[in-house]
Amino acid sequence: MDPADILSQIPIFSSLGDEDRSNLTERIDRQSFAKGSVLFRRGEPGNALYIIIRGQIRIFASTRQGNEITLALLGAGEFFGEMALLDGQPRSANAEATEDTELHFLDRDNFFSFLMHKESALRAILCALSRRLRRTDDLLTEAYFLQISHRLARKLVELHEGAATAGGAPHPLCITQMKLAGMIGATRESVNKELNVLRKKGLVQTSRNRITILDLARLKRRIR
């Protein structure tokens, strides 16, 4: 697909005219990352805005003890890395490819030159930042008020409903306990303990890096 056509499908660039998109593609580079690759780490200089063409990027924070919390999972058409560009500060989180991923990236000078002349793109970026802040607020609220059992059940239901199913059969979620723990602000050990409880109750089935929900209705009742 032509780069300009790809940009037309991305919300922050969709309102641009053909000529503007064509001019912008001349400023954008393309890069590929293999699954597991780390794009940047917290504290590193921020000098590029990334736009996902295909694949998935996980934005996460980690502690010195090795615990992680997932701040966002981003897919095709979404963008990240804009915070360091906007305030000139080092990266505030880490980013890794959870799948083989292709990206467009736009450096700081071109990014600001583009924004200064395109109010619609600026509005789209501000809206996206607001949504991410709201997700962070929700995560902090859940971590403070909800027990791990509730947070885990809610996340499993969310992941299950977001995954494709084949013929109505239970569809396994391919995820490690470490990543699942990061998504709900818990430790891997606590997630392992709660999964054992769910397995004994017949709600889920687990194997290496796979979780299959066997009784969705009962699992949803644990959220209430």
Query: Within this chain, do residues 82 and 190 fall inside the same structural domain, yes or no?
Result: no
pLDDT, position 179:
81
- Region of residue 36 (left: phi > 0; alpha: psi -120 to 50; beta: else): left
User: What value, to the nearest 5°, has the Cα angle with vertex 204 and ends 198 and 207?
Assistant: 110
Nearest to 160 by CA among 175, 148, 171: 171
In the chain, how many domains are there?
Answer: 2
**Higher-confidence position of 128 and 215:** 215
Mean pLDDT of 178-204: 86
How distant, in Å, are the alpha carbons of 10, 85, 141, 150, 182 from that of 48?
A: 17, 7, 31, 38, 25
pTM over 0.85: no
Query: Within this chain, do residues 121 and 30 fall inside the same structural domain, yes or no?
Result: yes
Q: How far apart are CA 66 and CA 18, in angstroms?
A: 47
Helix %, strand %, coil % of the chain (to 5): 45, 25, 30
Task: Write the pLDDT tens digit of every residue in 46-67.
Answer: 888 888 989 999 999 887 777 7
Q: 148-162 and 119-145 helices cross at what angle (nearest 10)?
A: 140
| pLDDT confidence bin for 1, thresholds 50/70/90 | low
CB 80 within 8 A of CB 48: no
CATH number of the domain where residue 215 is located: 1.10.10.10
Query: Which of 126, 141, 156 is at the close of a domain?
Result: 141
CB 13 within 8 A of CB 7: yes
Residue 39 has pLDDT above 90, yes or no: yes
Query: Within this chain, do residues 114 and 205 fall inside the same structural domain, yes or no?
Result: no
CATH number of the domain where residue 84 is located: 2.60.120.10
pLDDT, position 137:
67
Query: Within this chain, do residues 158 and 179 fall inside the same structural domain, yes or no?
Result: yes
CB 157 within 8 A of CB 44: no
CB 56 within 8 A of CB 97: yes
Q: How far apart are CA 120 and CA 214, in angstroms?
A: 45
**Which letter, b or e, does each residue of 49-67 get, where b requires 16 or more Cβ atoms within 10 Å of its Cβ?**
bbbbbebbbbbbeeeeeeb
Query: Which of 141, 175, 210 is at the close of a domain?
Result: 141
Mean pLDDT of 144-164: 78
| pLDDT confidence bin for 139, thresholds 50/70/90 | low
